[in-house]
C-alpha cells in the first residue's frame, strides 16, 4: 500500500482546485470521488444557467469562456472536466470512502468500489475533505415524503407535462423549476412557508415569475406548508387552515446540507451551532492533518460557500502545509 502525501475526498470544483494547488507545489494528490467529476453540477437541472459569471467560477488559472452573460450547466461540466484533464489530475471515480482512521504515519482510509465488491484501503499523511452536499437533502419529515411521486431533485420539465405538480420551497431552484414546468403545460403550485418572495431570487427572473402568477399560469401559496402527501392529493396548511389539493407529483426543493456524520467519524468535532471545528485561515480541523475545502466548511447555510469562495480554500491549505513544514 503506497503512502500518499495527500488524499482529497471529493472531485467537485473545490476539490479539483485544491488538487491543482498541491500539484503546483510538487505534490500529486490522489482525488477520490464516489461518483463522477463535479457530480453535483451534473445533477443540476439540464438547462440551468449559473447565477455567477464564468470568471468567478474559474479554477487553475484556466479561462472559462462562454457566449452568454452567465454560463450554463453543460458549459460548466465541460470546463471542469477539461481543467482536470489538462492538469492530468489523479482521480479515482466511483470509490466511496467510509472510514478515516489515524495511524502513526498519518491516516488510513477505507472504502469500496461502486459495486461494493472490493474493499479498498489507502494510506496518506494528510486528508482534504471536499465533499459536497447534494446527497443530503433537507427532509420535510411529513407523511408520504418517501413516496415515489416525491423528488428532492429537478432535472427537466418534460416528464411532468400535463401533470399537477406541487413545488415546495421558494428559492431560485423552485422558481426556475416552476417556470420550466409551466412552459411544458404542467399545472404548477408553489408552496412557500414565508409571507413574501425570497430576496435571493435572480432579479431578471422574478418579474417573469410574478407575471405568470398574476395571470394565473402558476399558483403561488405564501405562508403555507405541505403537511401530508398522498397518492392523488396533498394537504396544505395555510392562513385559512388545511385544504386538499389534487396532485400527481411533488418536488420538495428545500435545499441540502453537508454530511456531518462522516466528519464526526473521522474525529472532527462539531461546534454548538452544528458546523465542524476548523481554522478559517488554514482550513485545518481539530484533527491535525485533516482539512476542509468547499461547502463542507459552511457554518450555517449550504449555499454560504460556493465555487466563488471555496475555490480558494486549496491555497489556504497549501500555505499552512508550507508553514507547518508538511510540504
Q: 56-82: per-residue pLDDT in tens?
A: 999 999 999 998 888 999 999 999 999
Domain 3-135+256-323, CATH among 1.20.1530.20, 3.30.300.30, 3.50.50.60, 3.90.550.10: 3.50.50.60
Work out whether the CA dihedral 47, 50, 54, 58 comes out positive or negative: negative
Mean pLDDT of 30-34: 97
Over 50: is that where the pLDDT of 209 sits? Answer: yes
Q: What is the DSSP letter of 277?
A: P
Mean pLDDT of 108-135: 91
Distances (CA, A) of 147 to 150, 230, 235: 6, 8, 15
Question: pLDDT of 240-299, one tens digit each?
Answer: 999 999 999 999 998 877 777 778 888 999 887 778 999 999 999 999 999 999 988 876
Mean pLDDT of 299-318: 77
Over 80: is that where the pLDDT of 302 sits? Answer: no
Q: What is the DSSP letter of 133?
A: S
- Per cent of the chain over pLDDT 90 is 76
Answer yes or no: are the C-beta atoms of 238 and 227 closer than 8 Å: no
Question: pLDDT of 8-25, one tens digit each?
Answer: 999 999 999 999 999 999
Q: Which helix (H) or strand (E) holds 237?
A: strand 233-238
Fold of 150-252: FAD/NAD(P)-binding domain (3.50.50)
Closest C-alpha to 41, from 72, 63, 84? 72
Rounded distance between C-alpha atoms, residue 257 and residue 292, angstroms: 15
Higher pLDDT, 179 or 199: 179
- The pTM for the full model equals 0.87
Higher pLDDT, 309 or 24: 24
Average pLDDT, the chain: 92
Give residue for cell 446527497: 135
Rounded distance between C-alpha atoms, residue 267 and residue 102, angstroms: 9
Over 60: is that where the pLDDT of 27 sits? Answer: yes
Give residue for cell 389534487: 246
Query: What is the separation, in whole angstroms, between the first and last Cα of the chain?
Result: 21
CATH 3.50.50.60 domain locations along the chain = 3-135+256-323, 150-252
Do the strands 218-221 and 3-9 form a parallel or antiparallel pair, or are they unpaired? unpaired
- In DSSP terms, 310 is beta-bridged to none
Over 70: is that where the pLDDT of 300 sits? Answer: no
Q: What is the pLDDT of residue 37?
A: 95
Rounded distance between C-alpha atoms, residue 138 and residue 256, angstroms: 5
| pLDDT range class, residue 47, cuts 50, 70, 90 | confident
Distances (CA, A) of 315 to 16, 72, 99, 142, 327: 12, 27, 26, 43, 13
Over 60: is that where the pLDDT of 301 sits? Answer: no
Mean pLDDT of 105-114: 94
Question: pLDDT of 138-163, one tens digit each?
Answer: 899 999 999 999 999 999 999 999 99
Amino acid at each position: 500500500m503506497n503512502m500518499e502525501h495527500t488524499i482529497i475526498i471529493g472531485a467537485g470544483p473545490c476539490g479539483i482546485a485544491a488538487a491543482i494547488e498541491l500539484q503546483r507545489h510538487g505534490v500529486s494528490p490522489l482525488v477520490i470521488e464516489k461518483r463522477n467529476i463535479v457530480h453535483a453540477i451534473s445533477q443540476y437541472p439540464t438547462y440551468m444557467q449559473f447565477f455567477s459569471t464564468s470568471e468567478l467560477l474559474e479554477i487553475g488559472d484556466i479561462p472559462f469562456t462562454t457566449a452568454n452573460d452567465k454560463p450554463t450547466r453543460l458549459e460548466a461540466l465541460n470546463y471542469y472536466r477539461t481543467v482536470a484533464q489538462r492538469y492530468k489530475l489523479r482521480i479515482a471515480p466511483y470509490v466511496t470512502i467510509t472510514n478515516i482512521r489515524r495511524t502513526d504515519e498519518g491516516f488510513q482510509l477505507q472504502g469500496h468500489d461502486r459495486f461494493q465488491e472490493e474493499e479498498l484501503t489507502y494510506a496518506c499523511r494528510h486528508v482534504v475533505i471536499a465533499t459536497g452536499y447534494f446527497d443530503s437533502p433537507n427532509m420535510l419529515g411529513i407523511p408520504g415524503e418517501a413516496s415515489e411521486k416525491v423528488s428532492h431533485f429537478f432535472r427537466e420539465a418534460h416528464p411532468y407535462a400535463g401533470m399537477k405538480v406541487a413545488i415546495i420551497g421558494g428559492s431560485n431552484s423552485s422558481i426556475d423549476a416552476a417556470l420550466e414546468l409551466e412552459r411544458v403545460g404542467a399545472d404548477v403550485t408553489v408552496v412557500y412557508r414565508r409571507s413574501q418572495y425570497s430576496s435571493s431570487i435572480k432579479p431578471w427572473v422574478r418579474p417573469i415569475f410574478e407575471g405568470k402568477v398574476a395571470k394565473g399560469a402558476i399558483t403561488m401559496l405564501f405562508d403555507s406548508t405541505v403537511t401530508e402527501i398522498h397518492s392523488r392529493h396533498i394537504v396544505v396548511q395555510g392562513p385559512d387552515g388545511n385544504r386538499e389539493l389534487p396532485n400527481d407529483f411533488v418536488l420538495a426543493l428545500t435545499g441540502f446540507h453537508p454530511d456531518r456524520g462522516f466528519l464526526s467519524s473521522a474525529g472532527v468535532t462539531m461546534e454548538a451551532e452544528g458546523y465542524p471545528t476548523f481554522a478559517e485561515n488554514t482550513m485545518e480541523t481539530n484533527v491535525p492533518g485533516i482539512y476542509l475545502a468547499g461547502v463542507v466548511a459552511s457554518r450555517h447555510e449550504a449555499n454560504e460557500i460556493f465555487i466563488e469562495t471555496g475555490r480558494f480554500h486549496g491555497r489556504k491549505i497549501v500555505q499552512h502545509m508550507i508553514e507547518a513544514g508538511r510540504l
